[in-house]
């Protein structure tokens, strides 16, 4: 799965990396975060029409039919094996795909005989961003009961939200977890982002584990367990808990 990640590359640099046409104000205002947690606003690359933009969406997908935003708290990830069929994700799977650029992500490994898990920072060996496969939706909050809105709810601010697709772990990632986020290769960015590409079989070809060579595992401090903790020191390597995997940095 993917429940916490690092986002520190400046928006302008990401825009150049992903060949973005426009950077929204929300993306420009995004601040670096070494401990990004669900329900945060996160940077995304989306394409609508012929315009590719860098934007900021709520992490935790809220389906258009939802009655309340809190449903998104349970939808930070979507299993790639079933996303095309699940009511919460299937429409987005067909025409609202996106990329969530991250500088790395965290995963926690179980340690035999210990209640405490060992956290790892997972990153590329070249330290370039990962292009995580995402799905997005737009949701308009319903009017409260008893409120007569002459505009039919049109005055409510729509929420754009995102979920990250996961798949079975590759060999490197299997040392710490049996799932991992789907990474879209540069050769697939155009097709993945295109709303015109609606062939489910073609979309499914992207939903595989990325090569082992793209992943390095670094044991880090359990300080990252607390979402209130931030700072570059969270990425520093530590000696892992006895019995935990050594990592691959």
CATH code for position 79: 3.90.1680.10
Q: What is the pTM of this model?
A: 0.94
Tell me the catalytic residues: 2, 107
In a domain, residue 240? The reply is no
Q: How many domains, in total, are found in the chain? A: 1
In a domain, residue 241? The reply is no
Pair of tokens at residue 190: 């155009």
The DSSP line for 5-73 is EEE-S-HHHHHHHTT-SEE-HHHHTPPPEEEE-TTSEEEEEEEETTEEEEEEEEES---TT-SSGGGGG
- Residue 102 pairs in a beta bridge with 130
Distance of CA 8 to the CA centre of its chain: 14
In a domain, residue 216? The reply is yes
Q: One digit per residue, pLDDT tens: the chain, 249 residues?
A: 789 999 999 999 999 999 999 999 999 999 999 999 999 999 999 999 889 999 999 999 999 999 999 999 999 999 999 999 999 999 999 999 999 999 999 999 999 998 899 999 999 999 999 999 999 999 998 877 655 454 444 457 899 999 999 999 999 999 999 999 999 999 999 999 999 999 999 999 999 999 999 999 999 999 999 999 999 999 999 999 999 999 998
Domain that residue 219 falls in: 5-235
Pair of tokens at residue 239: 């000696």
In a domain, residue 245? The reply is no
In a domain, residue 70? The reply is yes
């Amino acid at each position: 799965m993917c429940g916490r990640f690092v986002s520190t590359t400046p928006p302008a640099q990401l825009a150049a990396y992903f060949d973005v046409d426009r950077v929204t104000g929300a993306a420009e205002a995004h601040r670096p975060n070494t401990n990004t947690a669900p329900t945060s606003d996160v940077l995304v690359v989306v394409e609508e029409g012929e315009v590719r933009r860098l934007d900021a969406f709520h992490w935790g997908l809220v389906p258009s039919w939802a009655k309340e935003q809190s449903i998104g708290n349970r939808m930070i990830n979507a299993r790639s094996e079933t996303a095309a069929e699940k009511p919460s994700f299937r429409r987005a799977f067909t025409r609202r795909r996106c990329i969530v650029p991250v500088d790395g992500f965290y995963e926690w490994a179980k340690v035999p005989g210990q209640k405490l898990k060992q956290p790892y920072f997972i990153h590329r060996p070249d330290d370039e961003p990962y292009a995580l496969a995402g799905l997005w939706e737009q949701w308009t909050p319903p009017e409260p009961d008893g409120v007569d809105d002459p505009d039919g709810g049109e005055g409510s601010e729509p929420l754009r939200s995102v979920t990250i697709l996961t798949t079975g772990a590759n060999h490197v990632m299997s040392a710490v977890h049996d799932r991992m986020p789907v990474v879209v290769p540069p050769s697939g960015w155009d097709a993945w982002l295109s709303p015109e590409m609606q062939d489910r079989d073609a979309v499914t070809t992207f939903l595989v584990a990325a090569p082992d060579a793209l992943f390095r595992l670094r044991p880090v401090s359990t300080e990252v367990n607390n979402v209130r903790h931030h700072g570059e020191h969270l990425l520093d390597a530590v000696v892992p808990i006895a019995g935990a995997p050594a990592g691959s940095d």
